[in-house]
Amino acid sequence: VQLQASGGGSVQPGGSLRLACEASGVTLSDQPVGWFRQAPGKEREGISCINGAGDRTYYKDSVKGRFTISRDSTRNTIYLQMDNLKSEDAAVYYCATHRIFCVSGSGIVGKPEYWGQGTQVTVSS
């Protein structure tokens, strides 16, 4: 199983990026997928997830209204559209799946078994 995260980069505050998480060896439409991030000196946090059916999503309050998670089953890929980026969004972003639940009111429950390699997001003027 491999998860390939991509789409990170450097943007100014207010800018946008779209992260992608492409999978091989696992069908992402069969299970929940989460996006996590880790900023320097901080713990990794789960910021968004989508369930297997694609009809349930979760967003951490700090990104709600600015980030959108979506799925393209034909490409076996999960996306995270990030708009109106702020300096505090700067982090390494990871996708992960397997052995987790995506709970709308609570977030990502469980410890993912499969992780992508991370993609760096830098937000600065």
A 10 A CB-CB count for 101 gives 17
Q: What is the DSSP string of 98-112?
A: SSEEEETTTEEEE--
Mean pLDDT for the stretch of residues 13-36: 96
**29 pLDDT more than 90:** no
Q: What is the average per-residue pLDDT within 17-34?
A: 95
Using DSSP's 3-state secondary structure scheme, residue 29 falls into helix
Q: Is 97 helix (H, G, I), strand (E, B) or coil?
A: strand
Confidence at residue 45, expressed as pLDDT on a 0 to 100 scale = 97
Reported as a single tens digit per residue, the pLDDT across 99-112 is 999 998 899 999 99
109 strand-pairing partners = 101
- Does residue 124 surpass a pLDDT of 90? yes
